[in-house]
């Protein structure tokens, strides 16, 4: 069961692990952004309790024009929703400033780590800031396509080659960006601590990154409200909300370094 206040003994253990680590990478998932108001997928209020995940495959996107029109309609309807980084994102920025964090490897597509100020963010599943052409890979800012939806297009096509356009995110069945995966693996495998925050760790291949870090000898620490696939090999496992937990860790780290 998650506790709203993290266990101080576990906070201290994580602080010690950070302080003695030569290189730490953070691996984040949807859970770090729920405190900003963005639902996760698999938590108790997650998106998958309301919609069927099997619809959101690349195969369905490519073959089903009705699905694409629905996705674009949803995109246009949600355009005015803005989200702000929360205490968890800000604490990771603080860890970087304190010299205790090498990078953030994220499965998230919301851009909140960059908005908070993290300087090295590796987005394994792309982002919603841009759209991409599925044929020629031309990229454009999402706003430009939303303007075309406003002008009456329902299933916009690439202006260069006529290919299908899609949000620059990685759907089920779609490959992750190779260069970003390689850099993430390189950083994770050369780290001695991998701090996992807000991920169920069931989405592969992304969840293979903390696993690869562990196999290369890194310690894994987990902050997550619910049990995850890697709890068995992690120390500590802190089952409390990311914002309050990471803030407590940063405060402890600062106090210990005075
Ligand atoms: P997930 O939904 O599978 O798991 C999220 C985990 O975070 C759950 O175990 C949940 O209990 C935990 N959690 C929720 N709120 C928390 C909090 N405040 N503090 C600590 N833990 C909390 O998410 P995932 O593992 O990232 O994998 C799902 C996929 O979802 C990813 O591929 C990602 O691209 C996508 N996604 C991204 C966003 C986003 O960008 N914000 C939102 C939803 C889904």
- What is the pLDDT confidence band of residue 1, given thresholds at 50, 70 and 90? low
Cβ atoms of 240 and 2 within 8 Å: the answer is yes
pLDDT at 211 over 90: yes
E strands, the chain, where?
Answer: 24-28, 103-106, 121-123, 126-133, 139-141, 165-169, 193-197, 219-223, 237-238
| Domain limit, last residue, from 115, 144, 169 | 169
Lowest-confidence region among 168-172, 174-178, 254-258:
254-258
**Are residue 133 and residue 250 in the same domain, yes or no?**
no
pLDDT at 242 over 70: yes
Residue 186 lies in domain: 1-37+85-124+176-258
Residue 108 CA to ligand 1 center (angstroms) comes to 8
Which CATH number do you get for residue 46? 3.30.1600.10
**Are residue 181 and residue 54 in the same domain, yes or no?**
no
Q: Is 244 in the pocket of ligand 1 (CB under 6 A)?
A: no
Residue 30 CA to ligand 1 center (angstroms) comes to 3
**Are residue 196 and residue 239 in the same domain, yes or no?**
yes
Can you give the pLDDT at residue 87?
Answer: 98
**Are residue 217 and residue 145 in the same domain, yes or no?**
no
pLDDT at 41 over 70: yes
Integer Cα distance of 172 and 52 in angstroms:
12
Mean pLDDT within 178-182:
97
Tokens of 228: 């995850």
For atom 39 of ligand 1, which residue has the closest CA?
Answer: 108
Mean pLDDT within 46-61:
82
**Which residue, chain included where needed, has tokens 């303007």?**
147
Mean pLDDT within 222-245:
97
Residue 39 CA to ligand 1 center (angstroms) comes to 8
| Domain limit, last residue, from 144, 169, 194 | 169
Q: In terms of Cα–Cα distance, which of 122, 148, 143 is closest to 25?
A: 122
- What is the pLDDT confidence band of residue 51, given thresholds at 50, 70 and 90? confident
- What is the pLDDT confidence band of residue 256, given thresholds at 50, 70 and 90? confident
Please identify, by atom number, the ligand 1 atom nearest to the C-alpha of residue 228. Answer: 9
**Are residue 139 and residue 162 in the same domain, yes or no?**
yes
- What pairs with residue 27 in β-bridges? 105, 196
Residue 47 CA to ligand 1 center (angstroms) comes to 10
**Are residue 136 and residue 235 in the same domain, yes or no?**
no
Q: Is 140 in the pocket of ligand 1 (CB under 6 A)?
A: no
Residue 104 CA to ligand 1 center (angstroms) comes to 15
Can you give the pLDDT at residue 127?
Answer: 95
- What is the pLDDT confidence band of residue 227, given thresholds at 50, 70 and 90? very high
Catalytic residue from among 67, 89, 113, 125: 125
**Are residue 141 and residue 230 in the same domain, yes or no?**
no
- What is the pLDDT confidence band of residue 43, given thresholds at 50, 70 and 90? confident
**Are residue 20 and residue 132 in the same domain, yes or no?**
no
pLDDT tens, residue by residue, 136-149: 999 999 999 999 99
Instruction: Tell me if residue 67 is catalytic.
Output: no
Can you give the pLDDT at residue 86?
Answer: 98
Can you give the pLDDT at residue 170?
Answer: 94
**Are residue 252 and residue 131 in the same domain, yes or no?**
no
Q: How many distinct structural domains can be found in the chain? A: 2
Q: Is 46 in the pocket of ligand 1 (CB under 6 A)?
A: yes
**Are residue 219 and residue 251 in the same domain, yes or no?**
yes
For atom 2 of ligand 1, which residue has the closest CA?
Answer: 41
pLDDT tens, residue by residue, 93-115: 999 999 999 999 999 999 999 99
**0.75 exceeded by pTM:** yes
| Domain limit, last residue, from 169, 202, 234 | 169
Q: Is 241 in the pocket of ligand 1 (CB under 6 A)?
A: yes
Cβ atoms of 48 and 41 within 8 Å: the answer is yes
Highest mean pLDDT pick, 45-49, 81-85, 109-113:
109-113
For atom 15 of ligand 1, which residue has the closest CA?
Answer: 31
**Are residue 11 and residue 135 in the same domain, yes or no?**
no
Mean pLDDT within 175-180:
95
Which CATH number do you get for residue 186? 3.40.50.1220
**Are residue 157 and residue 120 in the same domain, yes or no?**
no
DSSP string spanning 104-124? Answer: EEE---S-HHHHHT-S-EEET
Mean pLDDT within 151-170:
96
Q: Is 138 in the pocket of ligand 1 (CB under 6 A)?
A: no
């Amino acid at each position: 069961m998650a506790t709203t206040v993290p266990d101080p003994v576990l906070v201290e253990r994580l602080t010690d692990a950070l302080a003695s680590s030569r290189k730490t990478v953070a691996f984040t998932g949807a859970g770090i952004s729920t405190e900003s108001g963005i639902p996760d997928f698999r938590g108790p209020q997650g998106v998958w309790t309301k919609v069927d995940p099997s619809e959101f495959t690349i195969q369905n996107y490519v073959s089903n024009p009705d699905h694409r029109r629905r996705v674009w309609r949803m995109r246009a309807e949600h355009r005015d929703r803005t989200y702000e980084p929360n205490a968890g994102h800000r604490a990771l920025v603080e860890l970087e400033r304190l010299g205790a964090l090498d990078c953030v490897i994220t499965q998230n597509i919301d851009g909140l780590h960059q908005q908070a100020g993290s300087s090295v963010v590796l987005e394994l599943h792309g982002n919603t800031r841009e759209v991409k052409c599925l044929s020629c890979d031309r990229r454009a800012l999402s706003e430009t396509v939303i303007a075309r939806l406003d002008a009456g297009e329902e299933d916009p096509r690439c202006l260069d080659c006529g290919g299908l356009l899609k949000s620059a995110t990685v759907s089920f069945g779609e490959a992750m960006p190779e260069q970003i995966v390689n850099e993430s693996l390189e950083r994770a495998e050369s780290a001695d601590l991998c701090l996992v925050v807000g991920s169920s760790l069931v989405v592969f291949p992304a969840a293979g990154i903390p696993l690869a870090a562990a196999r290369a000898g890194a310690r894994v620490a987990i902050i997550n409200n619910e049990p995850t696939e890697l709890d068995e090999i992690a120390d500590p496992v802190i089952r409390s909300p990311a914002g309050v937990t990471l803030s407590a860790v940063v405060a402890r780290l600062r106090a210990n370094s005075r």
